[in-house]
A and B are shown apart, each in its own frame.
Chain A
């Protein structure tokens, strides 16, 4: 079974600075997807960024980028130029690639609570 581990329960960053959130996972599959989700206090889970395991290039979305190390099974999220609105719980998630017709369920880590200091 696949597992996702986030070893940083809480992180803090100064506004405009850069912060990196860590995530490791365990799987025997060779093809899969990895995600970072943001859950603000309003509770709505929002997709931040996704990475396909077969792609060597790290995904980027504006101020958000990932460092995907497939051999090490590591998937960290870097937030550049942090803003007050980035304060939230961040979840790392895994999804099997599988095949169409199978479930596309997500497996989540325990989350990292990010505080942004003005």
Chain B
């Protein structure tokens, strides 16, 4: 079975631009979470979606938004990019929100903002 997939692998944007990152969860998983990992730091929680509804949001500005589609895939959108948005963006999927549901991570999208 395929694991969590993310696209694109790498992305280079300039300040002020908009970016869309995509994530496909493991088949059967209904929850997707997004994390930002700045170089040298641990991942920081951005969003969690379950059954197409936002279930959690981290301390990120409104420039960050996300959605989940009927097939449970997800998009993370970032508007008005800043240099500080350069990071590895990780997607994780889980069966649901139960506390015993393990989160499986994708390989990430490396975003560079120039």
Interface residue A25 (Cβ < 8 Å from any Cβ of B): no
On whether A42 and B43 interact (CB within 8 A), knowing A98-B99, A104-B94, the answer reads no
A-B contact pairs, 8 of them (CB 8 A): A44-B106, A44-B107, A47-B102, A91-B43, A96-B99, A102-B97, A108-B43, A110-B42
Nearest 5 A-B pairs (CB), nearest first?
A: A103-B56, A108-B42, A45-B105, A105-B45, A100-B98
Contact residues on A (Cβ < 8 Å of other chain), bracket: 20 to 34
- B55 nearest CB neighbor, chain A only: A103
Contact residues on B (Cβ < 8 Å of other chain), bracket: 20 to 34
Residue numbers of A with Cβ under 8 A of B are: 4, 6, 33, 37, 42-47, 50, 91, 93, 95-111
Asked whether, in the complex, the Cβ of A100 is within 8 Å of the Cβ of B97, the reply is yes
- A6 nearest CB neighbor, chain B only: B42
